Structure formats: C-alpha cells, structure tokens
C-alpha cells in the first residue's frame, strides 16, 4: 500500500543503482551522493567493489539492496544454485540467457530464494541498514520472483521496494528497445500490484526506464518538469567509465559497450547546477526511501 502525501507536495528520490559493482561506479555514486542530487543507492553484493562500497554505506540510512540474478558473481556456493550459474565460476547468467531459461522452466525457484536470501544476509553481516530493495534489470517484478522477494522482505523486516511502473505514453523514440523493455517491465509491475500486502510501500511514481543509463542534464530536467504530486523515484547509473573494471565486474561486453560508457553523462546530470537550481526553485523536496 502506497503512503499518501499532499498532492501539491512533490518529493523526489534519486536512486543510483549498483554501488559496489566496480570501483569506478562506486566512486561516481559516492560523489553524487555527497555533491549532487542523488539521495539513495542500492548495493550489489556480487560486485567487485562490494567491500569498499559496504564500508562507505555501513550504518547509513540511504542504501538498499540491488537484488541480482544476472551478470554479477553469486553470493551462494556453486552447488547450492547450479541452475543460476553460467559455468564461468560463480558468474550468474547474462540477462538474455537467464530469461530464456526462466521462461522454459530451467531456472530453479528454490535456488532463486537461496541466492536472494544470501544477498540480504551478506548486507546485514556488513552492518548495512537496508532501506529498501530493487532488482538488477528489474527482474524482481517477475511474479514468481516477486513472491520470493515479498517473503524475504517480511522475514527481514524490509518494508519498501521499487515499483517500476510508469506511463506507457512517455515514449522516447530515440530509445526504441529501451521503450519495449519499459513496456514489459510495466506490464509485469501491473500484475504484481495485487500481491503487495498492507505494510509494504513504494514511491507513488517512477520515471526513467526508457532512458536507463542515458540520463543527460536535459533529460533530467524533462523528468523534473513532468513530476506529479507525491513521491517520485528516478533511477540513475553514474559512473566514471573504466573499461577494465566494468569488464571485470560484468564479465561480458554488453554493459561496457552500451551502458556504462554513458555513465559520465548520468554523473554530470546529477552534479548539474541547472538541475539543482530547478529542484530548489520549484519546491521539489529531495527525499529517500527512509522518508517513505
């Protein structure tokens, strides 16, 4: 159930995904948390820079968990989750391969629960106060996975999650593939809406799926101008691009070629004085998941 706010009040959560994935990502996110408009982040337990990132966010009140079932290194032992692993050590499958296996019932739901729970435990063992959860590639909105997420949220008393459902009419013709992905995620998000029990909450609005990884200063200002009353989350991916670090973190070429090369634009937008001024001049209150 979503917490209600005065419709005339606009509150903004800017969440930087994937702190801990690689040092160049962690450094950029940390700068944006301290000097920019980023108010929240989510950590990757299987990231190459997890230990450093965990030391930074330990005991803070702005870090959630970026549940990861693809791309990164698993937390669980190999023999516990064989259906999730690509065969390259403890590396999880890339997204396309995971989805093919998931929809052909070659991914064990039991093993998904084992891995996701171990990711929570790893955060708690490192004294990270989890404000919320979201999912890498938003896989947490797949109904069978979301059922597990809800069970784990209840067990570990996590009450907030990302609900990546935004207007289907916000079309970005420059990002057609991203828009199709947005449609798929939004449709699944609509399905899981009925599964959310009382006491579990999320922001009222979500903006940015079709521009994921491509948030320039102008795009950020467009998002801000289109905000409604209530709490809005905008996901961003700041990075100081370092190909060697990203290749090591993700283990394949999709992200270095198509995603984090643009991370410097996200970072610049989050540090932009124009963006800060617009937020200030238009009475938008920066918030976080803790404030929900």
183-210 residue pLDDT tens: 778 788 888 889 999 999 999 999 988 7
Tokens of 217: 């200063």
Q: Do residues 49 and 21 touch, judged by C-beta distance below 8 A?
A: yes
Q: What is the predicted pLDDT for the residue at 160?
A: 98
**What single-letter DSSP state applies at residue 234?**
E
pLDDT at 255 over 80: no
pLDDT tens-digit series, residues 93-130: 988 899 999 999 999 999 999 999 999 999 999 999 99
Query: 144-183 burial, b if ≥16 CB within 10 A, otherwise e?
Result: ebbebbbebbeeeebebbbbbbbeeebebeebeebbebbe
Kindly report the length of the chain.
Answer: 292
Least confident residue range of 19-28, 78-87, 110-119, 240-249: 240-249
What percent of the chain lies above the pLDDT cut of 90? 73
Say yes or no to pLDDT of 252 above 70: no
pLDDT for 248 equals: 78
Residue whose tokens read 């995620």: 185
pLDDT, position 233: 97
- Distance between CA atoms of residues 98 and 71, nearest Å: 9
Which pTM was predicted? Answer: 0.91
Beta carbons within 10 angstroms of residue 125's beta carbon: 9
Domains in the chain: boundaries: 10-291
Pairing mode of beta strands 130-135, 205-206: unpaired
| Phi, psi dihedrals of residue 40, rounded to the nearest 5° | -155, 155
Using alpha carbons, select from 6, 11, 1, 8 the residue that is nearest to residue 205: 11
> Residue 162 and residue 132: Cα distance in Å, rounded?
8
State the average pLDDT for the chain.
90
**How high is the pLDDT of residue 90?**
92
Q: State yes or no: pLDDT of 176 exceeds 80.
A: no
Inform me whether the pLDDT recorded for 6 exceeds 60.
no
| CATH class of the domain at 10-291 | alpha beta
- Residues 142-158: what's their mean pLDDT? 97
Give the pLDDT mean for 122-144.
Answer: 96
Which class for 38: exposed (0-12), middle (13-18), buried (19 or more C-beta within 10 A)? buried
Each residue's pLDDT tens digit, 26-69? 999 999 999 999 999 999 999 999 999 999 999 999 999 999 99
């Amino acid at each position: 159930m979503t917490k209600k706010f005065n419709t005339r009040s606009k509150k903004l959560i800017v969440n930087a995904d994937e702190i801990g994935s690689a040092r160049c990502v962690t450094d950029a996110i940390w700068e944006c948390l301290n000097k920019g408009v980023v108010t929240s982040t989510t950590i990757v337990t299987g990231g190459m820079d997890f230990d450093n990132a965990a030391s930074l966010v330990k005991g803070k009140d702005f870090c959630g968990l970026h549940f990861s079932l693809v791309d990164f290194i698993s937390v669980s032992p190999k023999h516990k989750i064989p259906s999730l692993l690509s065969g390259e050590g403890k590396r999880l499958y890339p997204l396309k391969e995971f989805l093919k296996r998931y929809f052909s019932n070659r991914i064990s739901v039991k093993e998904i629960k084992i891995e996701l729970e171990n990711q929570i435990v790893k955060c708690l063992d490192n004294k990270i106060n989890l404000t919320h959860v979201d999912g890498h590639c938003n896989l947490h909105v797949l109904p069978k996975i979301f059922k597990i997420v809800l069970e784990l949220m209840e067990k570990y008393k996590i009450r907030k999650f990302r609900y990546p459902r935004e207007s289907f009419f916000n079309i970005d013709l420059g990002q057609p593939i991203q828009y199709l992905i947005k449609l798929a995620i939004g449709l699944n998000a609509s399905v899981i809406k009925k599964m959310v029990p009382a006491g579990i909450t999320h922001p009222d609005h979500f903006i940015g799926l079709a521009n994921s990884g491509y948030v320039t200063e102008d795009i950020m200002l467009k998002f801000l101008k289109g905000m409604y009353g209530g709490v809005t989350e905008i996901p961003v991916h700041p990075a100081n691009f370092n190909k060697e670090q990203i290749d090591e973190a993700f283990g394949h070429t999709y992200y270095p070629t198509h995603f984090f090369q643009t991370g410097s634009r996200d970072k610049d937008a989050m540090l932009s004085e124009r963006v800060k001024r617009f937020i200030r001049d238009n009475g938008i209150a920066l918030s976080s998941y803790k404030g929900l």
